[in-house]
Amino acid sequence: MVNSSAPDNGIGTVKAVPEAAAAQECLPADNRVPGNGAVWVGIFAEMTEFALMFLVYFIAKVHYPEYFDEGPLKLNTTAGVLNTLALLTSSFFVAKAMSSVRKGNIQLAIRWLWGTVASAVAYLLIKTWEYYWNIQQGIEVDTNLFFTVYYYMTFNHFLHVFWGGGAILWAIWRLKSGFYTAEKHEGMEAIACYWHMIDLVWIIIFPLLYVLR
């Protein structure tokens, strides 16, 4: 059974559950800081950076409404949807991996994280193809202000997926090396939170650039 009597410091620990349910599940402790404090400084800094980009988007949209009305129609919506499905699925895999680690099932967690890596690679390939498709359609950074915002926002996000994928590979290596266990896995939880942040940002970018007019 997972050691539910581990000291609860509120960070990356599990809380005790009733005996009958203990064999099934250990839930994250209440009022905890998931992962560690440092990763949340990073997450809020990143969210603020993207908030500024969204602010630029909104201001540009009200000043150049014609570009922002036509822009989404010229983009490849299929690529945007596939990117969204890939990232949401990658987040789902990370959540499954975290749940598996809490159960002590390290091998299953590793398999879920490989699914995340596969989803991230799919995202990067689709986005690369989308940029290639754009250039074939004559859509470039300086085509108009909508596409300048589009390239700045999506390429910035592209880089986050790239290095976030690297962090997931690091988590896989740490799992394989036995650094993370059912009781101690705050490093993996920090990486998981960072990955979910990347997914959350895309949840906003997709409708702003591909859907709203």
Partner 1 sequence: MNSNLDSQSTMPTLTSYKILDYVWIVLMALTIGSALVAESAEPSLLVTIVIAFTIGIKGRLVVDRFMELRNAHPYIRFAMNFYFYMLPIVIVLVFLFPETIADLTRLKR
Find the shortest distance in angstroms from Cβ 118 to partner 1.
Answer: 15
CA distance 17 to 188: 22
Quick one: which of 1, 20, 45, 52 contacts partner 1 (CB under 8 A)? 1
Contact characters 168-197, partner 1, x per CB under 8 A: --------------x---------xx--x-
In the range 96-115, which residues lie near partner 1 by CB under 8 A? 96, 98-100, 103-105, 108
| Count of C-beta atoms within a 10 Å radius of residue 120 | 23
In the range 36-55, which residues lie near partner 1 by CB under 8 A? 40, 44, 47, 51, 54
Name the residue among 132, 120, 187 with its Cα closest to residue 159.
120
The burial of 6, by beta-carbon neighbours within 10 Å (0-12 exposed, 13-18 middle, 19 or more buried), is given as middle
Compare residues 65 and 166 and give the one whose CB is closer to partner 1: 65
Q: Could you tell me if 202 and 83 are in contact, meaning their C-beta atoms sit under 8 angstroms apart?
A: yes
- Alpha carbon dihedral 168, 171, 176, 182, in 10-degree steps, equals -130
CA distance 59 to 57: 6
Quick one: which of 38, 125, 141, 212 contacts partner 1 (CB under 8 A)? 212
Binding stretches for partner 1 (CB under 8 A): 1-3, 10, 23-25, 27-34, 40, 44, 47, 51, 54, 58-59, 61-63, 65, 69, 72, 77, 80-81, 84-85, 88-89, 91-92, 94-96, 98-100, 103-105, 108, 182, 192-193, 196, 199-200, 203-204, 206-208, 210-213
